[in-house]
Amino acid sequence: MSIRLGDEAPNFRADTTDGPIDFHEWKSGSWAVLFSHPADFTPVCTTELGRTAGLQDEFSKRNVKTIAVSVDSLDSHNGWAPDIKDVGGVPLNFPIIADPDRTVSMSYDMIHPGEGDSSTVRSVFIIDPTNKVRLTLTYPKSVGRNFDEIIRVIDALQLTDSAPVSTPADWTPGSRVIVAPTMSTADAKARFANVEEVKPYLRWASQP
Ligand code: BEZ
């Protein structure tokens, strides 16, 4: 079954490189990035998990826990971990789920048979502290993900949850935002700095 934005992220129990977990308990109170990779001991995946390990401080600052999954076994994940450190320069510092029976992969619709085989494609789910799915991304097996973009989206989601604003195309933290249509321009001027009405429906403001 496909997962839509706003759905509750399916819960599961699984073995991971950090021990067995109940997913909702493991992420309790935190945001989570759950992402799948096709297979251990493959080049693109090794760079992706290395990059995620290197970004742990950035994720932690934002109250985000990361967790990877593939259909490989726990022994395989544990055997691969030293390569992730060799390539990324940082030891594996987040769990990888072993999903040989495909329970997690199927419940998150991570296996796309048209992509060649029964391994997982490169899915990403950003899940908020209430377990609501807030972003889904699906990349093909041949294309590594941009983890700066994943952090940018987390920043945008956390900002737009905290104030009546949206983020424009190519927004980066600190740049101007768009006032929500539900707010009048007069109210926006009282609340935000540098409000500029370009169209009645497009009002810029400095990032609150
Ligand atoms: C890789 O991680 O390099 C990879 C894995 C599966 C298919 C294609 C590339």
For residues 29 and 115, membership in a common domain is answered with yes
Dig out the tokens for 48 from the structure. 């992706």
For residues 122 and 173, membership in a common domain is answered with no
Q: Is-contact 32 127, C-beta < 8 A?
A: yes
Answer left, alpha or beta for residue 89, where phi above 0 means left and psi between -120 and 50 means alpha.
Answer: left
What 3-state class would DSSP assign to 50?
helix
Q: What angle do CA 3, 161, 48 make, to 5 degrees?
A: 55
Encode pLDDT of 85-110 as tens digits: 999 999 999 999 999 999 999 999 99
CA distances from 7 to 101, 105, 136, 137 (A): 24, 17, 11, 15
Q: How far is the CA of 121 from the centre of ligand 1 (A)?
A: 9
Q: Is residue 7 part of a domain?
A: no
135 Cβ below 6 A of ligand 1: no
32: exposed, middle or buried (Cβ count in 10 Å: 0-12, 13-18, 19+): buried
Q: Is residue 6 part of a domain?
A: no
Q: Is residue 154 part of a domain?
A: no
Q: Is the pLDDT score of 1 beyond 70?
A: no
Q: What angle do CA 159, 2, 170 make, to 5 degrees?
A: 30
> Residue 53 has what DSSP assignment?
H
Q: Is the pLDDT score of 194 beyond 70?
A: yes
Task: Give a three-class secondary structure readout of 145-164.
Answer: CCHHHHHHHHHHHHHHHHCC
- Nearest atom of ligand 1 to the alpha carbon of 43: 3
**Across 183-195, average pLDDT:** 97
141 Cβ below 6 A of ligand 1: yes
Q: Is residue 1 part of a domain?
A: no
Q: How far is the CA of 115 from the centre of ligand 1 (A)?
A: 11
- How many domains is the chain built from? 2
Give residue 41's domain range: 13-146
For residues 50 and 93, membership in a common domain is answered with yes
Nearest to 62 by CA among 145, 126, 133: 126
For residues 133 and 40, membership in a common domain is answered with yes
What 3-state class would DSSP assign to 197?
strand
For residues 34 and 90, membership in a common domain is answered with yes
**Across 33-41, average pLDDT:** 98
CATH number of the domain within which 191 lies: 3.30.1020.10
**Across 12-26, average pLDDT:** 98
Domain boundary at 114, 146, 178, which?
A: 146
Q: How far is the CA of 116 from the centre of ligand 1 (A)?
A: 11
